[in-house]
Structure 1
Amino acid sequence: MSDDLIQVGRVAGAFGVRGEVRITSFTADPVALLDYRDLKREDGAPALTLLAGRPAKGGIVARAKEIETREQAEALRGLKLFIPRSTLPETDDEDEFYVTDLIGLAVETPEGEPLGAIRSVQDFGAGDLLEILPPEGGATWYLPFTKEAVPEVRLAAGKVIGVRPQEVE
């Protein structure tokens, strides 16, 4: 995947019989996908050109230039959708960032002891969790992405300050 692409959604399948497609959105406002319009594949090749859409649970239902039938929409199920990083607005302050900026950052205790590196950011329904790969390798573990568990994000330093899992209440 190109480093300048950010995943903003995934095709969830067909909707109805007229070629509309359900898209799970990974944006704060699912309807923002319509503003990006030209969505890319993981390799940067064109994926979908959104023409119109409406909000739906967890995302949008949209018409795309490339899809005319239900079968075509269903065939795209699972397709990851990306936009160029350059199309996103710049963040205004150090406390504002994109979730994708966290991937790969080191995790340290407030005392500077390494806890690992952020492998992914997940949300299983109860809020964001940082998946941490321990420094010595082995099984990953999850750290809630809350102010209590992660009091500081230092993007410029390439790290976040976190607490040990047993210290999170």
Structure 2
Amino acid sequence: MPAGEAAARAADDDVIAVGRVGPARGVRGETFVEPWTDAPHERFAPGNRLRTEPASAGPLEVDASSTAGGKLVVHFAGVVDRAGAEALRGVTLFVRAADRPPLADAEEFYDTDLVGLAAVGVDGAPIGPVRDVLHAAGASYLVLDVAGHERLVPFVAAIVPSVDVAAGTVTVDPPPGLFDL
């Protein structure tokens, strides 16, 4: 599941953070980029236009991308020297939420499809909002705000039997004691 990508229900102006510009590489305007996506070669393919924060730094168009020493190297159109590349250092890069590829499996979700959904019990009682999605030790967890306390809920079908992004809900069937910590 691509980390840090925005919801399909997002408006056309909603954006997904996909990386941050790092230091310059060489003297011809190339930069190292810290990717925040599982598909960096798709996000940073030549011709892709990226919004920026601060907005005054962009938009930036990818001219070329490659890897060097296992790190992503991107050359942006119009950046011709090391000084231009260094001026971009620290800039956060975004794509439009509407531009992300569709998922092939109806049972898969982008993390940010889930963030903000209202968690409800199988009886429909409100539990709290989904604040985040964590991936650790080969498992995924929903981070819920339950009465002002963060609670991790394993994102497995036995505990999370349904997700309805369009309705804005995720159904949780917690085992006894899950929220009693």
| TM-score, structure 2 normalization | 0.68
- Asked if 2 retains the 8 angstrom alpha-carbon contact of 1:8 and 1:25, the reply is no
Q: Does 1:83 align with 2:87?
A: no
- Asked if 2 retains the 8 angstrom alpha-carbon contact of 1:7 and 1:80, the reply is no
- Asked if 1 retains the 8 angstrom alpha-carbon contact of 2:49 and 2:60, the reply is yes
Structure 1 counterpart of 2:127, which letter?
L
Partner of 2:43, secondary structure, is helix
* Offset, 1:124: 5.9
Aligned match of 1:133 in 135, 142, 145?
A: 145
- Asked if 1 retains the 8 angstrom alpha-carbon contact of 2:50 and 2:59, the reply is yes
- What is the RMSD computed on CA atoms of the aligned residues? 3.5
Distance 1:56 1:156, change over 3 A: farther
Match of 2:42 in 1: 32
Partner of 1:140, secondary structure, is strand
- Report percent identity of matched pairs: 30
Partner of 1:86, secondary structure, is helix
Deviations 1:13-51 (A, max 9, x none): 125323322223333322011236100025877332111
Distance 1:6 1:121, change over 3 A: farther
Deviations 1:67-120 (A, max 9, x none): 444454445444322112332344566434432222210112323332210123
Distance 1:122 1:96, change over 3 A: closer
Distance 1:28 1:103, change over 3 A: same
- The whole-number CA distance in structure 2 between the counterparts of 1:109 and 1:57 is 48
Task: Name which structure has the greater RCO, CA cutoff 8 Å, separation 6+.
Answer: 2
Match of 2:133 in 1: 121
| Aligned counterparts, 1:1-169, within 5 A | 3-4=11-12, 5-18=14-27, 19-35=29-45, 37-41=48-52, 46-55=58-67, 60-70=72-82, 72-90=84-102, 94-123=106-135, 126-134=138-146, 136=147, 138-164=148-174, 166-167=177-178
* Offset, 1:62: 0.9
Q: Which has the larger radius of gyration?
A: 2
Distance 1:56 1:161, change over 3 A: farther
> How many residue pairs align between the two structures?
165
Partner of 2:124, secondary structure, is coil
- Asked if 1 retains the 8 angstrom alpha-carbon contact of 2:144 and 2:150, the reply is yes
- The whole-number CA distance in structure 2 between the counterparts of 1:104 and 1:58 is 34
Which structure 1 residue ranges, 5 or more long, are not aligned?
Answer: none
| TM-score, structure 1 normalization | 0.71
- The whole-number CA distance in structure 2 between the counterparts of 1:155 and 1:84 is 18
- Asked if 2 retains the 8 angstrom alpha-carbon contact of 1:118 and 1:133, the reply is yes
Structure 2 counterpart of 1:79, which letter?
V
Which structure 2 residue ranges, 5 or more long, are not aligned?
Answer: 1-9
